[in-house]
């Protein structure tokens, strides 16, 4: 398992797409943090809860973690390296477990990086308006929730990649599902007075964990539901690849 995890790290470092996604993370997090801090009223800036929400709504790590988690699996089929990977490690569940762990840890790293960018951009704006960033236990706790949510998004992406395998279909399908389909479903469920069902969808559940979406599930319940989705897609992915012909 250690060698597989090390191999995943090497693959990540040598993939140009990773640095492209990292650049997107920096740009999106910086723009969102600057916009939120600049447009807020003075009374909002002085509220520690606003500063915590600013981080939740600025860090773009969850989406980037989802996409990179998907790519960690689908790139193997796209470039035809999956045969060699499974020949080197015949226990296919080892491979899937290594990729799930790698995606989980990657999500934490991306969120931490995004938090650094968001704070670096927002803190000077807040200080300029006479309201320095208040670093306390609540802010640290929010940062931990953001990192955990991004980690679960990454692991969820790995499961989706194992299940779908086609890179274009998986990436496009994931983005459309999270950005468009979930919103349509939530609107329809709200019209049918079933808002509680919509809160259990992946985007809303993990949004409750990092508090980028409020008013639905609690962070703890949202995290538990998100973990359930990770387990579900990992299991579905495993059932697909365990006896799949890769020759």
**What is the secondary structure of 178-206 as a DSSP string?**
IIIIHHHHHHHHHHTT-HHHHTTSHHHHH
* Position 208 in a domain: yes
Classify residue 246: in a domain, yes or no: no
pLDDT at residue number 243: 80
| Residue 216 DSSP symbol | S
Q: How far apart are CA 158 and CA 56, in angstroms?
A: 23
Contact 122, 36 (CB under 8 A): yes
Predicted confidence at residue 221, as pLDDT, reads 95
- Mean of pLDDT values over 68-75: 93
Classify residue 188: in a domain, yes or no.
Answer: yes
Residue numbers of the domain that contains 151: 2-241
In this prediction, residue 196 carries a pLDDT of 77
Q: Is residue 56 part of a domain?
A: yes
Q: Which residue has the higher pLDDT, 229 or 39?
A: 229
Q: How confident is the model at residue 177 (pLDDT cuts 50, 70, 90)?
A: very high
Does the residue 191 lie in any domain?
yes
Instruction: Classify residue 247: in a domain, yes or no.
Output: no
Whole-Å CA distances, 166 to 79, 162, 171: 11, 9, 9
pLDDT per position as a tens digit, 41-55: 655 666 778 888 889
- Separation between Cα atoms, residue 203 and residue 65, nearest integer Å: 13
Is residue 49 in some structural domain? Answer: yes
Structurally, how many domains does the chain consist of? 1
- What's the pLDDT tens digit per position in 94-142? 899 999 999 999 999 999 999 999 999 988 888 876 677 777 888 899 9
Q: How far apart are CA 135 and CA 123, in angstroms?
A: 11
Contacts of 190 by beta carbon, 8 Å cutoff, 6+ apart:
198
200 occurs within a structural domain: yes
Query: What mean pLDDT is predicted for residues 46-70?
Result: 89
Burial class of residue 197, CB neighbours in 10 A (0-12, 13-18, 19+): middle
Q: What percent of the chain has pLDDT over 90?
A: 52
96 near 85, Cβ under 8 Å? no
Average pLDDT along the chain: 88
């Amino acid at each position: 398992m250690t060698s597989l995890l090390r191999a995943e790290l090497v693959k990540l470092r040598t993939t140009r797409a990773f640095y492209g996604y990292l650049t997107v993370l920096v740009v999106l997090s910086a723009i969102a943090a600057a916009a939120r801090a600049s447009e807020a009223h003075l009374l909002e800036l002085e509220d520690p809860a606003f500063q915590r929400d600013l981080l939740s709504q600025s860090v773009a790590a969850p989406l980037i973690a989802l996409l990179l988690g998907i790519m960690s699996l689908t790139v193997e089929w796209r470039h035809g390296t999956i045969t060699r990977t499974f020949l080197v490690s015949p226990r296919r569940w080892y491979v899937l477990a290594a990729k799930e762990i790698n995606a989980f840890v990657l999500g934490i790293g991306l969120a931490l990086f995004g938090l650094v960018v968001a704070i670096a951009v927002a803190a000077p704006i807040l200080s300029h308006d006479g309201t320095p960033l208040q670093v306390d236990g609540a802010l640290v706790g929010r940062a931990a929730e953001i990192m955990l949510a991004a980690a679960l998004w990454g692991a969820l992406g790995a499961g989706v990649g194992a299940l779908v395998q086609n890179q274009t279909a998986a990436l496009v399908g994931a983005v459309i599902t999270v950005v468009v389909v979930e919103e349509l479903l939530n609107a329809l469920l709200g019209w049918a007075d079933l808002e509680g069902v919509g809160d259990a969808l992946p985007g809303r559940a993990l949004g409750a964990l990092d508090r980028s979406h409020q008013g639905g599930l609690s962070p703890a319940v949202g995290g538990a539901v998100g973990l359930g989705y990770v387990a579900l897609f990992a299991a579905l992915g495993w059932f697909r690849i365990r006896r799949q012909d890769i020759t």
